[in-house]
Structure 1
Amino acid sequence: MKKRFALGMLSGLMLSASLTHAQQLLLTNYTVAGDQPVVGMIVTKNGATPQKLSVKGPDARRFMIDDQQRLVLRPGKADAGAVSYAVEIRGRTPEGKVSVPFRIVNDQFLKNKVIAHRGAWKHTGASQNSIGSLQQAIKLGCMGSEFDVHMSADSGLIISHDHAHQGVLIEKTPTAQLTSLKLANGENMPTLGTYLDAGTAQNKTRLILEIKASQLGKERSLALTNKVVGMVKAHQAQGWVDYISFDYDVCKRIKELDPYAKVAYLTGDKAPELLAADKLFGLDYHFSILKKNESWIDEAQQKKLTINAWTVNDPAIMDWLLGKNVDFITTDEPETLLTKVK
């Protein structure tokens, strides 16, 4: 028993050390397409240049590291039927030896601008923010499926739009109790882990993850952010996930934790110039904000920020936004919008 305990302690220490080093090694991108074989550069979070890099893992034979320290898909090694490739990048940083697993998405993501708000639920019988509504969004062929994440009383990560479900406050309730609650379609309330598992089983629809600001204060919102980004990394889901939040400090914290994450701001009270200066990926504003500040659309495009508008259910407003060539439109009516972009 003592030997088993000691081995467990040693394994825990090794895992802790490995994770510490792992945070120092990142990719600048996590997707690859056959006609664009460069995945991205292998970098460290603190800017140091990693040394003695090599590729290992189940799909190592498909990749190489070029003289610019970029992970590159070898000619003729793409697998058209693969959802993703499993690799492990090994090297050395100032902190020591590093060995980090990654999943590289075989990029077949759709580019039709349609983001299903809380999944595709309105005409499908699925509940909002359920695995079913995600699967329906994938089945419809949406570019992305949006969902919301809260933190439970015991720091579990729970999928729900509202801060309470059936009168039960998410932030003051343990995970086990929350996941026993039923949604309208009979599913149990999902965790972020189960949602990521479902979403990363395909490579057509992106996962648009909203981090919900805590009702218990800024510190808890940032703790939630730390947990979410950590779980996305643990599931090697970086290639699928884009982040959004109404809390600007949450957006900036995501960028601190993962400088190459795609992060967009939701509230609509900041000009594109500030978002670009803080290296956000895009703005994600209510359509009324964009109609009131049409110049922001041009400014955002000039600064190479993506533009999303929410929540757009009126066909006339969809047409207006498509005419402005916004990048994405979030809607409860993905079926309607899909007919306009096909």
Structure 2
Amino acid sequence: MARTTTPTTRADDWPYLAAPPLALAHRGGAAWGPNRGIENSLAAFRAAVGLGYRYVETDVHVTADGHLVAFHDDVLDRVTDGHGRLSRLPWSAVRTARIDGREPVPRFAELLEELPTTRLNVDLKSAGAARPLWETIRSHGAEDRVLVASFSDERLAEFRRLSGGRVATAAGPREVALLRFAPLPVLRRAASSLPGIALQVPEVHHLGGVPVRVVTPGLVERAHALGKQVHVWTVDDAADMTRLLDLGVDGLVSDRVDTLQDVLLARGQWR
């Protein structure tokens, strides 16, 4: 059901983020045995859901003729038997490509339709995808089961404008920088202008070849003080998962969905 209340910047007000820690299957769980080679395919997402996952992570691009596809790269070449840039290909060409030579590239609408109880974390990869993403979410009544993220502040701003705050969004790069480095009193004064309800970040970001630690106890404390969550990607090692959960992060994005499930089960935190 679409949100009709005033948009809020606090995670607790969004059903999508209920009951952390969240376990998110990255591209369906790309490094888990049954899914090796078929990342971001409907088969991979179904397998993760079959394992018990309520959240899957994917990416979206738009084809030359306006079809919104769930696919990570901007070209078909790395993971399919097809070739070419998605933004320059019609859907009739993309639909014939096979991931690992066996699985079709899904449209985003298929994920909403085929996985009706699953929540989707969506990385907005291309500038032209914001409008078709919003229109697809709206037409399927899926506002409460999608969270939209992007490495582009501009793409996020466009999606937020189109959706009118009815869909949860992650913090953009500028918001993350503020939350990581600005003094807490400054952040509190700016809270209403920070619409992202979750920081979805790597533990360490390499800036010009220099590693910069993003996830720290201070960042988690600041985010929580503002009612926001912290989700870390892409975490595949059990010891790292345990350490980050002990730090208080609210979600982990992983290719090793089997390992993440085992860690959360051992901690009594598997939902």
- List gaps (5 residues or longer) in structure 2: 8-14, 78-82, 180-186, 206-211, 266-271
Q: Which runs of 5+ in 1 are unaligned?
A: 1-25, 29-41, 46-104, 215-220
- Give the Cα–Cα distance (whole angstroms) in 2 for the partners of residues 275 and 248 of structure 1: 17
1:263 aligns with 2:186: no
Equivalent in 122, 146, 156 of residue 209 of structure 1: 122
Q: What is the CA–CA distance in structure 2 between the aligned matches of 1:250 and 1:172, rounded to whole Å?
A: 19
Q: Does 1:118 align with 2:18?
A: no
* 3-state SS of paired residue (2:252): strand
Counterpart in 2 of 1:281?
Answer: 197
Q: Whole-Å Cα distance in 1 between the matches of residues 19 and 166 of structure 2? A: 21
Q: How many Å separate the matches in 2 of 1:266 and 1:185?
A: 35
Q: Determine the C-alpha separation between the residues in 2 that align with 1:323 and 1:266.
A: 25
> Which stretch has the larger CA shift, 286-295 or 305-314?
286-295
Corresponding residue for 1:232? 137
Higher strand share: 1
The structure with more radius of gyration: 1
Which aligned pairs between 1:117-156 and structure 2 lie closer than 5 A? 117-122=26-31, 123-125=33-35, 127-156=38-67
Could you say which structure has the greater relative contact order, defined with CA pairs below 8 angstroms and 6 or more residues apart?
A: 2
Given that residues 149 and 192 in structure 1 are in contact (C-alpha distance below 8 angstroms), is that contact kept between their aligned partners in structure 2? yes
- Note the 1:259-338 alignment, pairs <5 A: 259-265=165-171, 267=173, 270-272=177-179, 273=187, 277-289=193-205, 291-292=213-214, 294=216, 295-338=218-261
Following TM superposition, by how much is the alpha carbon of 1:190 offset from its aligned partner in structure 2, in angstroms?
1.0
Q: Which residue of 1 aligns with 2:105?
A: 189
One of 79, 84, 87 as aligned partner of 1:168: 84
Rounded to whole Å, the distance in 1 between the matches of 2:260 and 2:99 is 26
Q: Which amino acid aligns with 1:207?
A: L
Residues of 2 paired with 1:275 and 1:293: CA distance?
Answer: 19
CA displacement, residues 134-162 of structure 1 (integer Å, 9 cap, x when unaligned): 11111111241001100111111112111
The secondary structure found in structure 2 opposite 1:322 is helix
Higher helix share: 2
Q: Helix, strand or coil for the counterpart of 1:114?
A: strand
Contact 1:131 1:195 in 2 (8 A): yes
Change (3 A) 1:293 1:340: closer
The alignment's TM-score, normalised by the length of structure 1, stands at 0.62
What fraction of aligned residue pairs are identical, expressed as a percent?
22
TM-score by length of 2: 0.77
- Counterparts of 1:292 and 1:234 in 2: how far apart (Å)? 36
Task: Give 1:308 shift.
Answer: 0.5
In 2 relative to 1, CA 178–313 (structure 1 residues): closer, same or farther, beyond 3 Å?
A: same
Residue 292 (structure 1) shift: 4.4
Q: Is 1:157 aligned with 2:73?
A: no
After superposition, what is the alpha-carbon deviation per residue over 1:213-272, rounded to whole angstroms, capped at 9, x for unaligned? x3xxxxxx1x32011111110111112211111111222222222213111136485222
What's the offset of the Cα at 1:277? Answer: 2.2
